[in-house]
Structures are given as structure tokens and as C-alpha cells.
Structure 1
Amino acid sequence: MKESLMKAASYFDVQITGKMVFGWNDRSIGSKVKNQKGICYWLRVVSEMMCWAQGDFWEGNLAANKIKGITKPRVIQIYEWEDGGIQLRAELMSFVEGRVCAFTPELRTKLDLSPRWLSELRASLDRLSFYPTERIHTKQEKVTRRFLVFYGDKIDSNITKWTTAHGDLHWANLMAPQLSILDWEGWGKAPLGYDAATLYCFSLLIPEVAEQVYQTFADILDTHEGVLAQLYVITRLLHRIDLGDFMDLAGPLHRHADDLLARLKRC
């Protein structure tokens, strides 16, 4: 991937000036770059098998350029090429100052989140939820299947409210002290509360921050739809744990699922 990043940098006539950062399973690589005029950008290269290098997920970051009123990188140029049956896509993006909230999706150290930052995050997700799109992040069929696998036939998994979501709202995709939301590959329609549920579940190892996140979105997460969104996110994260990721989240996620299931039984 390093060679691919250097090839893309040569194509865009920019110089790599920052640390190279690898994405999940080394599927992508990115770095701060600078052009001949000294203007900074972010250069990202992603790789995929040819049969998957198309559609919503492949075009997500570029398609997100149309979403206004949310602070995020903007894709400026695209370059694609094929190498040994693998399709590579380079995206030259605007550079966002600041730092990521964590270097992993799950939060492992306490964050000092200002009320303003949390308020801006809530406003951004509210704005996004109303954005009209035909893009799909997840479907009812997948929700139904996951619920059957993880919870049996205990609950009705039918989702009645769908909104536009980022789809991967974790701490490595959020920047501070000025809010910016990164990685828009998978945005699209998802159950109401999906993004809030994702961030909350990725916060469970740091209860104080988890409580801040929950209170920011309590009016959504406390609803029936919000509970279903949390239960679905838990299935997604437990699947990742089964693949070897963030193993110590398993206990908190199971306990939270038990609480949510008990809440549904009382309703």
C-alpha cells in the first residue's frame, strides 16, 4: 500500500509530508500531503477486488461532497488504476486540522468533550438524518437475520423508521477540538438512531464518556426504535469481535444487550 500511496502522490504532483496511516485490515492508507504551492491535502488510497470496486461503498466519499452543513473532508480529485486484479482508488481530499479522538474505533482513554462539541455533533447528525438519498447502508433483511442469529425469536426486529446515517460513526472517524466527521464510504439509509447507537457502543469501555454520548442522544436512544438500533449495532460489533477486534468490548456489549432486551420485555 505504501507504493500505491507514492504512485498516487506522483500522479497528483504532491509530496507526502505526514505519517502514513493504515485503515482496517490495511485495506487503505492515507497521509498528509502538500502541493508545490504549499497547500496541504489528505491523500487516501483504498484497494478492493475488482468485483467489489463499484457502487455506493466505493463512491461514498465522493458522493458525500453533496452533503452540506456538516464539517468533513471534501474529495477534490480521483485517480483509479488496476494492479494484478486489485482495483485501487486514490482520493485527494481537503485537509482538516485537528486530531482524531482515538486511533481505534473503540474509546480506551477519557476524552474531554466540550458541550459545544457534543452539541455540534448532534446538530450534524440531525442535519444528515434528513438528507434525501437512495443510498443504502443496511437493509431490513440483514437486521432480521442478525437479530435471529444473536437474539433468537425474542423480539420483533421490524424497523419502521429509517434515516440517512454516516454508517461508521466511531472515535477514529471523529476529530477534535473542532468537530469534523471522516470516512464517508458507507453512508446511507439505516435504522433511526444508528449513528448514535454506534458511537455509544464504542464508548462503553469509558463509562463517563459513554454517559455523555447517551445523554446527547437520549431522546432517540430511549425510544423503541433507538433500542432496536442499539441491539442491531451490538450484533455488528459482536461479529467484529468474533473476527478478533476489540475483544474486551464483548462483556460490556452483552450486558448492554441484556438490559435492552429486558427493557423491551417490560414494554
Structure 2
Amino acid sequence: MTLSVPTGHSVDLRVQPVDDALDHVERSLQTHFDRNTVVRKRRSVGARTDRDTWVRIERRLLSKISDQGWNGTECAARLMGVAQPVWQGSVVWRDAGEPAMWRADETEILPGNPIGTAVLSEDPKLPDEWWRAFNSSLDALAAQSTSRVASPDTESVTQALVTEAIHSAFPRSFDTTIEQWVPAHADLNWANMSAPSFCLFDWEDWGNAPRGLDSASLWASSLAVPALADRVLRERRADFASRDGKLMTLFVCSKILGPDAHPQDPRLEPARHMAEQIVQDLQTD
């Protein structure tokens, strides 16, 4: 199966034809999609099946598939104590005309709706019960072990990546060495969690990352709603108080404040304020 795009180029599945991929998965998994439920994103397409499951389909260039493979959702199925959709099965195939592969993972339907977009502009007003389930899952995840390396946006998180990102945005004299690496979802934002029942999904990039990456990422996704950002800080205060957590907060701030920053982004000022405070703390340690 091929798509009419230049060889080796990324494909934006929001605009490219995906009917062939959907047909292929239907035949392979012996199911049928409700085409009215299709959700198209840049790298993936999802849809509900006639057996009340959800299938997420992603196309990835071979150059973006690391030695650890490309089966994050399948590997996450063994995690204990983490609220996630139960994984049912998958199908993987090589694109016939491009240096790329396709993967479809079938899981249970979410117990609620996705909370929103990656970055929220309104407070979802989540109950305390939701926050307790959220904390329980994140704590359980961080307490486990894996040989996987987190790869948000298909880029592996390494010490070198952390140091480069932080020092490019904050060229000050302080040590960026990470002390504690723990399992992380690595794409924790409001589009990948459900409510009113908490569930965490889209596990394709999970793996070991510096402590606090998930907490800092969710905080950054909440900055347009100050009360929500403050709630994340309170709920995950142990992460943010740790040295690694402070470095991860600078790491996510570097993405907000970088050269591609939009001058109207409401997250700019709170990110800048937090970054200045953390840099001062690190320089006096």
C-alpha cells in the first residue's frame, strides 16, 4: 500500500488519503470501522470498531523507529497499577513504496471522553477523585522498571538532549546532569487522558525519562489556565521539588520560550517567570 507523497517525507494524515490504511486494518483485524468516528491527527488516525473497541493507526518513517522497536502500546500492557485501555492486538506492515511502516493497535474503548486538546484554554474542573486516580497511576508508573527509552515526538530522551535544550534557552552556568531516570508516559497532556473516569492512553513513546518529565509536561499544557497549572504543581509537588523535576520544568519551558514561540501564546509569561526562578535556584545549589 502506498501514498502519493515524496519518498522519505513525513505524511500529515490530517490531509492525506487514509482509506487504504483503514481498509487494510479492517481486513487484518477482521473488523469494521464506524467511519463517522474517525479522528485524524498529524501522525495517526483512530476509529471505533463494530466490536466496541478503538484502533489507533500510525505511519512512521523507518528512520524514526529506534532499536527498541515500535510497540509502546503493546509493551505498556504489562504495566501494573496504571489506568489505561486494555490492549487487544495489533497489525504492522511495511509501506510498499516508501521507507516507512504502519502500525495499528486495538484497545478497549475509553471509560470517558478525552479531556481536551493538548493545551487547554478552560479549566476542566476535575473532581478530587480524578486527581487521586491520576496520582496513583503516575506513581505506579514511575515505580516500575523498563529498558525502553522515552521518545516524545519520536526523539529519544537522552542526557545530551536535555542539556542541549536547556542551555540553548538558558545559557547560564549550572549543572544539568539528571540523577534519576524512571518510566514515563512521555506525552502527558490533556488530549491523552479521559474524564470523568481517569484513563491514560497513547503509549507509543513511553520509556525511561528524567524524573518529573510527565509532571512538567502536564504543567506546561495547563499554563493558559493558571488555576489548573497551580493544581498540577500541588498534586505533583514532590516531582517539582526535586532537582530533576526542576530541570524537566526548564526542559519544557525551553520549548515554549524557544525561537518558534508565538508572541501571543498565553503560556509565555508564566513559563518565563518559572524558568527565571528555577535558574536562580539551580545556580545557588
- TM-score, normalization by structure 2: 0.83
| Aligned residue identity for 1:65 | A
After superposition, residues 234-249 of structure 1 pair within 5 angstroms as 234-238=253-257, 242=260, 247-249=265-267
Match of 2:142 in 1: 129
Q: 1:57 to 1:98 in 2, by over 3 A?
A: farther
* Pick aligned residue for 1:101 from 101, 115, 133: 115
**Identity score, percent:** 26
Offset, 1:76: 1.7
- Structure 1 contact 99–176 (Cα < 8 Å) conserved: yes
Offset, 1:71: 1.4
Q: 1:225 to 1:53 in 2, by over 3 A?
A: closer
- Structure 2 contact 149–208 (Cα < 8 Å) conserved: yes
Worse-matched range after superposition: 74-83 or 152-161: 74-83
Is 2:235 aligned against 1:216?
yes
- Structure 2 contact 220–253 (Cα < 8 Å) conserved: yes
Worse-matched range after superposition: 192-201 or 145-154: 145-154
Match of 1:7 in 2: 24
- CA deviation vs aligned residue, 1:234-261 (integer Å, no higher than 9, x gap): 224445x8287x9443333223212222
- Structure 2 contact 44–56 (Cα < 8 Å) conserved: yes
| Aligned residue identity for 1:66 | R
After superposition, residues 134-213 of structure 1 pair within 5 angstroms as 134-137=147-150, 138-213=157-232
Provide the C-alpha distance between the structure 2 equivalents of 1:55 and 1:166, rounded to a whole number of angstroms: 19
Q: Which has the higher helix share?
A: 1
- Structure 1 contact 171–199 (Cα < 8 Å) conserved: yes
- Structure 2 contact 26–32 (Cα < 8 Å) conserved: yes
| Aligned residue identity for 2:32 | Q
- CA deviation vs aligned residue, 1:4-28 (integer Å, no higher than 9, x gap): 12321232222222521123xx211
Ranges in structure 1 where 5+ consecutive residues have no aligned partner: none
- What SS is found at the alignment partner of 1:164? strand
Worse-matched range after superposition: 66-75 or 194-203: 66-75
- Structure 1 contact 173–182 (Cα < 8 Å) conserved: yes
Provide the C-alpha distance between the structure 1 equivalents of 2:217 and 2:233, rounded to a whole number of angstroms: 11
Match of 2:38 in 1: 20
Provide the C-alpha distance between the structure 1 equivalents of 2:121 and 2:55, rounded to a whole number of angstroms: 27
Offset, 1:60: 0.8
Offset, 1:176: 0.5
Provide the C-alpha distance between the structure 2 equivalents of 1:258 and 1:226, rounded to a whole number of angstroms: 15
* Pick aligned residue for 2:269 from 245, 251, 254: 251
- Structure 1 contact 98–178 (Cα < 8 Å) conserved: yes
Offset, 1:89: 1.1
* Pick aligned residue for 2:48 from 24, 32, 40: 32
- CA deviation vs aligned residue, 1:29-69 (integer Å, no higher than 9, x gap): 001111xxxx3110111001233345446211111111122
| Aligned residue identity for 1:30 | G
| Aligned residue identity for 1:93 | T
Q: Which consecutive segments of 4 or more residues in structure 1 shift more than 6 A? A: none
Is 2:95 aligned against 1:79?
no
- TM-score, normalization by structure 1: 0.89
Provide the C-alpha distance between the structure 2 equivalents of 1:162 and 1:117, rounded to a whole number of angstroms: 26
